[in-house]
Amino acid sequence: MQTKPFRIGTRGSPLALAQASETRARLMAAHGLPEEMFEIVVLSTKGDRITDRPLAEVGGKGLFTQELEDQLLSGELDFAVHSSKDMPTLLPQGLELSAFLPREDCRDAFIGRTAPTLAALPDGATIGSSSLRRQALIRRRRPDISVITFRGLVETRLRKLEEGQVDATLLALAGLNRLAMSEVVTEVMDPADFPPAPAQGAICIESRIGDRRVLDLLEAINDRPTWDAVSCERAFLAALDGSCRTPIAGYARCEDDHLHFTGLILTPDGQQEHAVEVEGLRRDALDLGRKAGETVRAAAGADFFADWT
């Protein structure tokens, strides 16, 4: 019988803490356990500390996970809570993604200071975004727009916007919803022409492979539709060797026992793209995502990827 609190690792941003708190609340409800049985342990990651450069220049997505994963491997943490879209497709040996919470809204949110929508921005306006996918999609629709790198916490980016450093920015609607800040949104982007990042809007839980005590605990809160959809999207990303240098979008939807996936790759300037659409059984989610990635990579050809690295 568990007598010591489970130690939940998380980053220290308000959004990360909200995600860890949601995970704890779901576990308390599922198992009838008191709050004191779950200790939230806050760690600072390299990605949190380096905010003046694009992620691709300083090591990519793993910058937000390494310190947490080190403590998972050492046994200091029982499991860690992450934004799924921050997770590399290749995890450290001995660790796995063991559960996903029910997915929030996967769409991107436009927050305009000088205009309420992307289409309404004046020629030559400036948008701040740290995402190469968002940058490429903006340039695809509005090549006249100036896009600058814009990193930092949600609150930091909104403050920079308010100060007039840019005319608009884009953030994940899921994060704003979890922070109860959706009132700042001036346009919700249509995923048909502004598709989300793979795994956007989903909270994942990482733990040690084979740790039955933790796996049995987490199984009760794992959401199977989210698991299948995000597994498909991450397989697509992995097949494309997706990193922070690659503008990649992908979204899977589950309906009964079927899954429908759409994926897109773009050049950073948004002027070239290749799309793919597949559907099949949910039990084949990994294969569907992998094959979609292989299809779009073959269609694009090696030259398409030449300038990404």
Q: What is the pLDDT along the chain (309 residues), one digit of tens a residue?
A: 567 899 999 999 999 999 999 999 999 999 999 999 999 999 876 555 545 555 554 445 556 688 899 999 999 999 999 999 989 999 999 999 999 999 999 999 999 999 999 999 999 999 999 899 999 999 999 999 999 988 788 999 999 999 999 999 999 999 999 999 999 999 999 999 999 999 999 999 999 999 999 999 999 999 999 999 999 999 999 999 755 577 999 999 999 999 999 999 999 999 999 999 999 999 999 999 999 999 999 998 877 766 544
Predicted pLDDT of residue 48: 52
Predicted pLDDT of residue 44: 72
Q: Where in the sequence numbering do the catalytic residues fall?
A: 86
Predicted pLDDT of residue 155: 92
Q: HEC states along the chain? A: CCCCCEEEEECCCHHHHHHHHHHHHHHHHHHCCCHHHEEEEECCCHHHHCCCCCHHHHCCHHHHCHHHHHHHHHCCCCEEEEEHHHCCCCCCCCEEEEEECCCCCCCEEEEECCCCCCCCCCCCCEEECCCHHHHHHHHHHCCCCEEECCCCCHHHHHHHHHCCCCCEEEEEHHHHHHCCCHHHCCEECCCCCCCCCCCCCCEEEEEECCCHHHHHHHHCCCCHHHHHHHHHHHHHHHHCCCCCCCCEEEEEEEECCEEEEEEEEECCCCCCEEEEEEEEEHHHHHHHHHHHHHHHHHHHCHHHHHHHC
Predicted pLDDT of residue 192: 92
Predicted pLDDT of residue 153: 86
Q: What pTM did the predictor assign? A: 0.91
Domains, in order of start, for the chain: 1-101+202-222 (3.40.190.10), 108-188 (3.40.190.10), 223-300 (3.30.160.40)
Predicted pLDDT of residue 13: 92
Predicted pLDDT of residue 309: 46
Burial (0-12, 13-18, 19+ Cβ within 10 Å), 1: exposed
Q: Which residue in 292, 206, 200 sits closest to 251, CA to CA?
A: 200
